[in-house]
Amino acid sequence: MEILIAQIISGLAMGATYSLIVTGFNLLFLVRGVLPFAVAHIAVLSMYAGWITLGQTNNNLVLAIPVALLAGILLNVLTEPTFRPLALRRAFLETVVVGLGIGIIATEVMSHFLHQGRPITFPEVLVGGGGMVRLGMIVFSLGDVYTLLGAIGAVIGLLYFLNHHKEGRAFRAMAQDLHVARLLGIPFNRTGIYSFAICGLLAGLSGVLMAITLGSVGSGLGDTLAIKAVVLMMFAGMGNLKGGLICAFIMGLAEALAMAYLPGRWTEAVVFSVIMIAIIVRPQGVFGSQA
Amino acid sequence: MSLQGIYYLQFVAVFILMTWAVYLPFRAGQLYNGPIYCMAIGGYFSAFVARDFGWPFGLALIATVALGAIMGFIPALGFCRTTGLVTAMASIALIYIIQSVIRNLDFLGGSRGFWNIPKVGYLLPLAYGIVLIVGLFIYRFDHSRFGRAAEAMLVDPELAAAMGIDTRWLSVALLTISSVIGALAGAIFAFTLGTIFPESFGFALLLYVWSMMYIGGRYTMWGAIISVPILWGLPQWVPHAVAEYTNILYGALLIIIIIARPEGIVSRDMLQRVRKMVRIRFR
For A159-198, write each residue's pLDDT tens digit.
Answer: 999 999 998 999 888 888 888 888 998 888 899 999 999 9
Task: Enumerate residues 45 to 74 of chain B having a beta carbon within 8 A of any beta carbon in chain A.
Answer: none
pLDDT band at B95, cuts 50/70/90?
A: very high
Higher per-residue pLDDT: B2 or B22: B22
Say yes or no: A166 contacts chain B, CB-CB below 8 A: no
In the prediction, which pLDDT does B32 show? 92
**CB-based contact B90 A100, cutoff 8 Å:** no
Fill in the amino acid letter for B124: L
Whether A265 sits inside 8 A of B104 (CB atoms) is yes
Q: Is the pLDDT of residue A291 over 60?
A: no
Residues of chain A with C-beta less than 8 angstroms from the C-beta of B198: none
Backbone angles phi, psi at A290, to 5 degrees: -100, 0
Instruction: Report which listed range, A69-78, A142-151, A170-179, B267-276, is most confident.
Output: A69-78
Burial of A249 (0-12, 13-18, 19+ CB in 10 A): buried
Q: Are B226 and B265 in contact (CB under 8 A)?
A: yes
pLDDT in tens, B190-218: 999 999 999 889 888 998 899 999 999 88
Flag whether residue A145 sits within 8 Å of chain B, measured between CB atoms.
Answer: no
B-chain residues within 8 Å CB-CB of A272? 93, 96-97, 100
The string of pLDDT tens digits covering residues B137-165 is 999 999 999 999 999 998 888 899 999 99
**Least Cα separation, residue A93 to chain B (angstroms):** 7
Strands A216-217 and A120-121: antiparallel
Q: Tell me, yes or no, if A102 comes closer than 8 A to chain B by beta carbon.
A: yes
**What length is written for chain B?**
283
Average pLDDT estimate for A57-63: 84
**ipTM rounded to 2 decimals:** 0.85
pLDDT band for position B35 (cuts 50, 70, 90): very high
Q: In this predicted structure, what is the pLDDT of residue A127?
A: 61
Contact A266 B97 (CB under 8 A): no
Rounded CA-CA distance A54/A120 in Å is 12
The vertex-A190 CA angle with A186 and A191, nearest 5°, equals 65
Give the C-alpha separation, B15 to B13, whole Å.
Answer: 6
Residue B244 sits at the chain A interface (C-beta within 8 Å): yes
State how far residue A115 is from chain B, nearest Cα, in angstroms.
16
pLDDT for A124 beyond 80: no
Whole-number pLDDT of residue A194: 93
Task: Tell me how far apart the alpha carbons of residues A69 and A144 are, in angstroms, rounded to a whole number.
Answer: 19
What percent of chain A stands above pLDDT 70?
Answer: 96
Q: What is the pLDDT of residue A283?
A: 85
Q: What is the three-class DSSP state of B13?
A: helix
| Model confidence at A2: pLDDT above 80 | no
Q: Of the ranges A108-122, A235-249, B33-47, B115-129, which is most confident?
A: B33-47
Amino acid at B132: L
What's the burial of B74, exposed, middle or buried (CB within 10 Å: 0-12/13-18/19+)?
exposed
Selected residue with higher pLDDT from A229 and A267: A229
Task: Over range B231-250, report the average pLDDT.
Answer: 83
Chain A residues in contact with B89 (beta carbon < 8 A): 227, 230-231, 234, 279
**pLDDT value at residue B283:** 66
Highest mean pLDDT (candidates A6-10, A58-62, A123-127, B72-76):
B72-76
Q: Is B110 on the interface with A (CB under 8 A)?
A: no
C-beta atoms of B252 and A105 within 8 A: yes
State mean pLDDT over A212-231: 87
Question: Given CB atoms, is A273 within the 8 Å cutoff of chain B?
Answer: yes
Residue A78's pLDDT band (cuts 50, 70, 90): very high
Amino acid letter for position B123 = L
Percent of chain A with pLDDT over 90: 32
* pLDDT tops 60 at residue A74: yes
Residues whose CB falls within 8 Å of the CB of residue A155, separated by 6 or more in sequence, listed in order: A19, A20, A23, A245
pLDDT of residue A123 exceeding 90, the answer is no
pLDDT at site B242: 78
Model pLDDT, residue B111 = 84
Residues 9-38 of B with CB under 8 A from A: 31
Least confidently predicted of A254-258, B202-206, B267-271: A254-258
Q: Does B238 touch chain A (CB under 8 A)?
A: no
What pLDDT, on a 0 to 100 scale, did the predictor assign at position A87?
Answer: 86
Structure confidence at residue B65 (pLDDT): 96
Q: Is A274 on the interface with B (CB under 8 A)?
A: no
Could you give the 3-state DSSP secondary structure of residue A138?
strand
Is pLDDT of A157 > 60? Answer: yes
CA distance B101 to chain A (A): 7
pLDDT computed for residue A62 by the predictor: 84
Mean pLDDT over A276-288 rounds to 86
Using the predicted structure, report yes or no on whether residue B239 has a pLDDT greater than 70: yes
Residue of A nearest to B262 (CA): A94
> Minimal Cα–Cα distance from B31 to chain A, Å?
9
Q: Does B250 touch chain A (CB under 8 A)?
A: yes
Residue A125, pLDDT > 70, answer: no
pLDDT value of residue A16: 93
Average pLDDT (A106-135) is 77
* pLDDT band (50, 70, 90) for residue A146: confident
The whole-chain average pLDDT of chain B stands at: 91
Statement: residue B17 has pLDDT above 80: yes
Residues of A in contact with B248 (CB under 8 A): 104-105, 108-109
**Which has more pLDDT, A3 or B67?**
B67
Taking the C-alpha atoms of residue A235 and residue A257, their distance in angstroms, rounded to an integer, is 19
Asked if A85 is an interface residue toward chain B (Cβ–Cβ < 8 A), one would say yes
| Residue numbers in B near A86 (CB within 8 A) | 258-259
B248 touches chain A (CB under 8 A): yes
For A61, phi and psi rounded to 5 degrees? -70, -35
Nearest to A102 among B84, B255, B262 (CB): B255
